[in-house]
Amino acid sequence: MQEKNKEIVITGMGLINPMGYSVNDYWQKMKSNIISISPTKTFDCSDIPIKLTSEITDFDYKKIGNINKRLINKIDKFTHLALVSAEQAIIDAKLDINEDNADRIGVYYGNNSGGWDICQKGYDEYYNEGPTFVNKWQATAWFPAAAQGYISIVHGIKGQSKSFIDDRLSGAHALYFAIDSIRSGRNDIVVVGGSEAPITKLGLVCYADNGCMSFADSTEKYLQEDKLVLAEGSACLILEEHQNAVKRNAKIYGKIIDYDSRKLSVNLQDEFIDEYVKQYNYNNSLNFDNVSIVIPENISPNSIENKFIQKIIKHKKYDTFFSKRNLGHLYGGSTATDVINAIQLINNSSSRKKENVFIFSRNENNTCISFIIGGY
């Protein structure tokens, strides 16, 4: 049974993405309205419809994060990024993981598609050298749960852990069920986040197939559409029950006020908005009274999604922070990044401390996951 009165707070943050290798670095660039989206640089994708991506272009495997060099050779980039963000968050939270608490700490990560880099390498080996020459790390490096596994090994985390794979909602479901795992008593603390590194040739061909990606060849054209640009990166939060955080004297950045996950009928279209609002509101306890900032899924103020949000937040007194406009869409890493955005927005303005941020995530099939984040 869930203890709904268990207050869940955020006590650590970490991230790495094209806008920065730390939360501060990233936020400074976001505040300056820097855009990390550009024509793909790291390989020739002239024949692939996806022209723009948001890449980490100067990533030095050996220098980023305290990752053992032998381990670097065994993992895909998405796991490396996950390890970096998790390490930052654990250090930020001053979380001491030891024999007494390791089985009460879990890892909940979102990843949409596993290890593209190593997947492509494995196919190259298979076809160019032969099936018996596929590298021995393939099996443990490319599957989506690899990040969860390696984080648990590197940090000695033994509690209930899960990897969610759900398109743009991979990280959103990881956060949703991480909160549930604390409320139900399965975990006391969760290292929750997501990671993606799909920007390879094979990855871009796959994503070009999903109908959501921008095929614009310039940032200017992209900013006029309501399509997505693929980003790579990872973000991580330390989530724990409030009393636990107070007991260990943790710094508390913010709290989870409320959350919801549901599926609406497919195809969000203008003529059905009222029906979707009715479906969204059915048995939904989200209270928008103190919401002053919205972080939506999309990047366009004119999108149908924003019309939908205007109908569910009746007071209409809110600003919209289009996080994905500058950074692109991190898929599995998106929600944790948006929670970090929310905390920065709340805590960097003294007037906002009592106000809440509404994060709305949705995939093309109209599964919607919402979080309300508050200051502390």
Partner 1 sequence: MNRAVITGIGLISPCGTNLEDFKKNLYEGISFVDFDDEMNRLMVKSKVNCKIKDFNLRKHIEEIEKYLSDHQKKYINDILPKQALFIQYGVISALKAIYDSNFLLKDKLIPEESSVIFTSAIGGSPTIQKIYEYLTDMGQHDISYKDTGGIFYNAGMINYISLFISNLLELKGLCTSMSTGCTGGIDSIGLALDVIRSGKSKIVIAGSSEAPLCGITYATLDAINALSVAEGDYNTRSRPFDLTRKGFVISEGSGVLIIEEYEHAKARGAQIYCEVLGYSSSNNALHMTDLVEEGESMSRTIDSAIKDSKTISAEDIDYINAHGSSTPQNDVFETKAFKKSLGDNAYSVKISSTKSLIGHSLASASMFGSIATICSITDGIIHPTINLKFKDPECDLDYVPLYKQKVNVNCALITASGFGGIHSALILKKEQE
**Interaction residues for partner 1, span 139-198 (CB under 8 A):** 139-140, 143-146, 148-150, 152-153, 155-167, 169, 173, 177, 180-181, 183-184, 186
Contacting residues for 44 by C-beta, under 8 A, at least 6 apart: none
Report 61-100 residues binding partner 1 (CB under 8 A).
none
* Closest separation in Å from C-beta 240 to partner 1: 18
* Closest separation in Å from C-beta 267 to partner 1: 10
Judged by CB under 8 A, which of 42, 218, 265, 287 binds partner 1? 265
Closer residue to partner 1 in complex, CB, 151/293: 151
Closest CA to 53 of 209, 210, 224, 208: 208
Burial 319-343 (b: 16+ CB within 10 A, else e): eebbbbbbbbbbbbbbbbbbbbbbb
* Closest separation in Å from C-beta 46 to partner 1: 9
Could you give the string, one character per residue 202-241, with x where binding to partner 1 holds by CB under 8 A and - elsewhere? Answer: x--xxxxxxx------------------------------
In the beta sheet, which residues pair with residue 20? 17
In the beta sheet, which residues pair with residue 195? 234
Q: Verify binding: residue 266, partner 1, rule CB under 8 A.
A: yes
HSE, CB side, 13 Å, CA atoms: give it for residue 48.
22
Alpha helices in the chain (DSSP H): 23-31, 69-72, 77-92, 116-128, 138-141, 146-155, 170-183, 201-208, 219-222, 242-247, 273-281, 304-312, 323-327, 334-347
Closer residue to partner 1 in complex, CB, 79/344: 79
Report 328-367 residues binding partner 1 (CB under 8 A).
365, 367
Helix (H) or strand (E) holding 358: strand 356-362
* Closest separation in Å from C-beta 175 to partner 1: 12
Judged by CB under 8 A, which of 22, 34, 38, 49 binds partner 1? 49
Contacting residues for 276 by C-beta, under 8 A, at least 6 apart: 264, 265, 268, 308, 366
* Closest separation in Å from C-beta 376 to partner 1: 25
* Closest separation in Å from C-beta 219 to partner 1: 22
